[in-house]
Structure 1
Amino acid sequence: MDYLHQIRKPKLRDKQLIAMDLTSEYMGIDSECQLFRILPASLSSKIEQSVYNRRKRKLFSFRESLRKALVKRLNKSEHCYIVDSMPLEVCKLSRSSRSKICKEQDYSLPEKGYCASQSSHYYGYKLHAVCSAQGVIESMDISPACVHDINYLKDIKHQLRDCTLLGDRGYL
């Protein structure tokens, strides 16, 4: 079954493209250029790199639903989760006033924040992640750097119920 309704029938089906994307991610390949260098000719002749990238972006929601189904199955009997955050620096603090990165939309503006574990200030975002004790990532979210860790707990309290959630002092 193909998820995207296309006028011309593609040589590479959507399921094959998602499988190729997941396999490359599992292998640690994070660049399409690198992927297309090592692909066998039988696959690389079926799709161009730019078409692969465009279709991969359009299939993100289907890939995400597959990820959620896998996580649900893998974490079915899990009652203990670990939550933590890390800084995502956009640029050095000294360049923050001149930086134009991620400033296209008002809701996605980077902010100045403080990372206690590194004892440093930074400009950017904060990545929050929740994973099971087995290491399966349950959810991830990006917030402005100034958002305190405790506020992320308010966001995920509807996702996780009747479980133990372990975090560092930032989540107290």
Structure 2
Amino acid sequence: MKQKDEVIIAIHVLGKLLGFTSERAWHRFVIGNLFPKDLFPERSRYNRRCRALSFAIKWIRHQLAKRGQHHAYAVVDSLPIELCHSARMHRVKRFRGIADIGYCASKRITFYGWKLHLQVTDQGLPMGYVVTEASCHDRVAAETVMMQIPHPYNLGDKGYISQKLQKKLYEEHRVAFWTPVRKNQRIRQSDAWKQ
């Protein structure tokens, strides 16, 4: 082995932090700037070792997120994963029974596919995620997403408004979940709470 596992993990994480999406481009960058060609594994060998070490990388991410109580807050949101164009969504046969038709209010689109529910810290560290069918409401998946690695302070958009959910999260898990209020909501928040 030309490099130890620790070096391979560190190089892999550095590539993700620098925003490289292509394995080939990242390997070319490493060979050109960080290591000489004879001291670093060739591209396919490097990629195989990264895949073999993926369990360690996931464990590191999990430990960082668990210790990440120094993050100020976490944000919970969902986004659509479209599988086909909207003109074909009523006759599509792929993933029938798993995927279905849903509505994304922020983009004002009806789509066929899944919905990704994600919890991310204020520093961009993913804490938890769930993929559901497109028709699943945000409130239904919120508790599952937030309990993967609980964070004491969570923010959500208007799709997550539910006093029952907020009360349950606080009483059972000591998780504060804040959402904005609707204009016609009976229970109003004080100006001090909003600030």
Which TM-score bucket, shorter chain as reference? 0.7 to 0.9
| Unmatched tracts of structure 2, length 5 or more | 162-195
Q: Does 1:30 align with 2:24?
A: no
Deviation at 1:158, TM superposition (A): 3.6
- Where does residue 64 of structure 2 map in the other structure? 70
Contact 2:119 2:145 in 1 (8 A): no
- Where does residue 147 of structure 1 map in the other structure? 136
> What secondary structure does 2:112 align onto?
strand
| CA–CA distance in structure 1, aligned partners of residues 48 and 143 of structure 2 | 35
Give the AA of the match of 2:53.
L
| CA–CA distance in structure 2, aligned partners of residues 14 and 85 of structure 1 | 35
Pair 78,19 (structure 1): closer, same or farther in 2 beyond 3 Å? closer
> What secondary structure does 2:83 align onto?
strand
| CA–CA distance in structure 1, aligned partners of residues 151 and 50 of structure 2 | 36
Contact 2:101 2:135 in 1 (8 A): yes
Higher-RCO chain (CA-CA 8 Å, sequence separation at least 6): 1
Give the AA of the match of 1:116.
A
| Unmatched tracts of structure 1, length 5 or more | 1-9
Deviation at 1:31, TM superposition (A): 0.5
- Where does residue 7 of structure 1 map in the other structure? none
What's the TM-score, normalizing by structure 2?
A: 0.66
> What secondary structure does 2:19 align onto?
coil
Quote the sequence identity (%): 31
Of the two, which has the highest radius of gyration?
Answer: 2
Q: Does 1:127 align with 2:116?
A: yes
Q: Which has the higher mean CA deviation after the structures are superposed, 124-133 or 60-69?
A: 124-133
Give the AA of the match of 1:151.
V
- Where does residue 39 of structure 1 map in the other structure? 30
Pair 13,94 (structure 1): closer, same or farther in 2 beyond 3 Å? farther
Pair 11,167 (structure 1): closer, same or farther in 2 beyond 3 Å? same
Q: Does 1:93 align with 2:82?
A: no
- Where does residue 114 of structure 1 map in the other structure? 103
Q: Does 1:21 align with 2:12?
A: yes
Pair 40,82 (structure 1): closer, same or farther in 2 beyond 3 Å? same
Q: Does 1:53 align with 2:47?
A: yes
Q: Which has the higher mean CA deviation after the structures are superposed, 55-64 or 160-169?
A: 160-169
Give the AA of the match of 2:62.
K
Deviation at 1:44, TM superposition (A): 4.6
- Where does residue 82 of structure 1 map in the other structure? 75
RMSD of equivalent CA atoms: 2.8
Pair 50,40 (structure 1): closer, same or farther in 2 beyond 3 Å? closer
Deviation at 1:43, TM superposition (A): 5.3
> What secondary structure does 2:44 align onto?
helix
Deviation at 1:36, TM superposition (A): 2.3
| Residue-pair matches, total | 157
Pair 49,143 (structure 1): closer, same or farther in 2 beyond 3 Å? farther
